[in-house]
Amino acid sequence: GNSVTQMEGPVTLSEEAFLTINCTYTATGYPSLFWYVQYPGEGLQLLLKATKADDKGSNKGFEATYRKETTSFHLEKGSVQVSDSAVYFCALSDRATSGTYKYIFGTGTRLKVLA
């Protein structure tokens, strides 16, 4: 079945460092791909998404490109801030038993940014 493999954490960086969190997937068909972020004590928030191959999602300085040839959707940011400290989840959309869409999530990567 479909799956998402995400980089193990935690990741600890200094402020203004470059961030990459790797995400690869296996899927039949053409799923949409997502990055969600979970700040401490809060629910998941959509960070960015891409719905087809070669699409680039971007938000708040984060970017990820839907690479069908490498089945990847790596998250990048050029200069992280302390406020970016959170858990990041990669996900793809899949079809649930009910026929509606569900998400398949990666395991999450905890990012800690030090001042």
Partner 1 sequence: SAVISQKPSRDICQRGTSLTIQCQVDSQVTMMFWYRQQPGQSLTLIATANQGSEATYESGFVIDKFPISRPNLTFSTLTVSNMSPEDSSIYLCSVKVPASGDEQFFGPGTRLTVL
The yes or no reply on residue 36 touching partner 1 (CB under 8 A) is yes
The verdict on whether omega for the bond into residue 40 sits within 30 degrees of 0, i.e. cis, is no
In angstroms, the CA 62 to CA 58 distance is 5
Stretch of 11-19, 63-71, 78-86, 93-101 contacting partner 1, by CB under 8 A: 93-101
| Farthest CA pair distance, the chain | 46
Exactly one of 23, 49, 57, 62 binds partner 1 (CB under 8 A); that residue is 49
Q: How far is CA 49 from the centre of its chain?
A: 8
User: Left if phi > 0, otherwise alpha if psi is -120 to 50, otherwise beta: which for 36?
Assistant: beta
Q: How far is the CB of 43 from partner 1 (least distance, A)?
A: 4
- 70 versus 98: smaller Cβ distance to partner 1: 98
Binding positions for partner 1, rule: CB under 8 A: 4, 32, 34, 36, 41-46, 49, 51, 89, 93, 96-98, 100-103, 105-108
